[in-house]
Amino acid sequence: MIHNDYYTQETHGPYEMYNLGDFQLEEGGIIPDCQLAYRTFGALNESKDNLIVIPTWFSGTSKDWEAYIGEDRALNPKKYFIVVINQIGNGLSSSPHNSPASISMNAFPHVRISDDVRAQYQLITEKYGVTEIALVVGGSMGAQQTYEWAVRYPEMVKRAAPIAGTAKNTDHDFLFTQTLMDAITSDPGFNEGNYTSHTDVAEGLKRHADIWAVMGLCPDFYNEEKWRLFGVNSVTEFTEEFLQPLFQAMDPNALLTMAWKWQRGDVSRMTNGNLKEALGRIKAKVFVMPIDEDMFFPPKDCEKEQKMISNSELRMIRSICGHFGLFGAEGAYYYDQIDAHLQDLLNEHVSEKQME
């Protein structure tokens, strides 16, 4: 167990912790006293039917969703009880650097998207006693978890909005993600995951950030100097003063834990590899929401899956920031699109007959 000032309430709070007890993983490992960090907005109503669940994306935390939530937004805490749950391994929930010696650092077990969703299910059912979810919405790896929710618990999830993510990761995206992992593990300071501080892996984390600079955005982001949206004055400032310090503050093993499950996100594991059958289990009303310039989860991949979901629509998000559109650097232009689609989805009546 090592300390990292990046993963604190001061940086990512406020949030609460929930102890799941000894949590059994799909790959066979156990996380003793598994902790989920979560943040809530609003209150659960008397009928317990106003819950919105939001899983986090790769490297992200519940802090990233603050800008999506507000009384003037579709995710309105005056109307809904919103629970943002940090995925296992993201640095706030149980992760390699904050776990007991038996599973710390490179001994941390493999975690799958299915483990995250089962853990989230345990949290909301044990703590709040809910039997239905008005909406599950998440971006990127959060979209992977959103699909898992809709397939794994079809009677519970009434609406789902996967943003910039797929139900089954593609081979192409698997290879992209592998380069992110290799950038970290090839640093001699990584020491097979037994470094003494994340700063030992500064060069590997820098290379990791540089790959994001290429694939996390799109050519026109640079052609049109849209890096200015991030408050910088040059490409060099964007990479060296924003992206590199951002990732160099993070724990390498945490990033690897998330990347491993990102690579293997696949709801068809529940149906012996049959993706159409898995997506056919979904009873929720689904808005599939790709980002038009996303190079990690291209719209074509998202649309292919959307066509396998009976009660679904494709709702395109426009963002020159590509996958990094999720950070909302375009302000109202981006958030207004998200709000419009989510409001339409939340206005959709989902009958009891549909959920049967």
CA 229 to chain centre: 23
How open is the CA angle 160-58-107, to the nearest 5 degrees?
A: 120
The one catalytic residue among 97, 198, 208, 323 = 323
Alpha carbons 157 and 262: distance in angstroms, whole number: 22
Contact in structure between 160 and 132 (CB atoms under 8 Å): no
Catalytic, 339? Answer no
Closest CA to 254 of 176, 315, 195, 341: 195
The one catalytic residue among 140, 173, 339, 341 = 140
Contact in structure between 113 and 144 (CB atoms under 8 Å): yes
Catalytic, 294? Answer yes
Alpha carbons 293 and 233: distance in angstroms, whole number: 23
The one catalytic residue among 64, 173, 294, 301 = 294
H helices of 26-170, in order, are 113-128, 141-152
Alpha carbons 89 and 110: distance in angstroms, whole number: 10
Contact in structure between 97 and 254 (CB atoms under 8 Å): yes
Catalytic, 140? Answer yes
Q: So which residues are the catalytic ones?
A: 140, 294, 323
